Amino acid sequence: MLSVSFVFCAVVALAKAQAVCPAAWTKYNKQCFYYDGTSWTWVEAQARCQSFGGNLASVHSDEEYAFIQTLTQVPTWLGGTDCQRTGAWFWIDGTPMMYRIWCLLKPDNDLKQCCLQMNTGENKCWDDATCSTTLPYVCARPL
């Protein structure tokens, strides 16, 4: 019985070490990312991500942003918002927003624009947008 328990534990440990993302999701570091090219409002996109066990994606480095850009090159929702307090941007997944790649003169803190879209303009940077705009989105969830 002891050897069966050992084998079972080894199989579980190996499965965790080689964790894979669900179909249509792409692994990057310790997360799975999903791009949906269908346009939704920011709130609808977040609700869809939550139904998949995740949130709209947060970005924490140039490398991670470059990876997400391999999934989409068009304006796309990410999980940033300052709807709670203008100018106080945070990630909907609760991680701190330390990395930022805002377009020139953005965010402009327009009270009607409190959701973050990526791939804006020639530089493919971030812009604050009206949350009722419909855009594709990127979800992230932990492995």
For residue 140, give Cα distances in angstroms to 14, 29, 37, 51, 143.
23, 11, 15, 12, 10
Q: CA 77 to CA 79: how far, in whole Å? A: 7
Cα within 13 Å of Cα(70), Cβ side: 10
Q: Per residue of the chain (143 residues), what is the pLDDT tens digit?
A: 445 444 344 434 444 556 899 999 999 999 999 999 999 999 999 999 999 999 999 999 999 999 999 999 999 999 999 999 999 999 999 999 999 999 999 999 888 999 999 999 999 999 999 999 999 999 999 99
Q: Is residue 98 part of a domain?
A: yes
Instruction: Indicate the number of domains in the chain.
Output: 1
What CATH number should be reported for the domain holding residue 132? Answer: 3.10.100.10
Q: Is 17 inside any structural domain?
A: no
DSSP per residue, 103-125? PTT-----TTEEEEEEEETTTTE
Cβ atoms of 80 and 115 within 8 Å: the answer is: yes
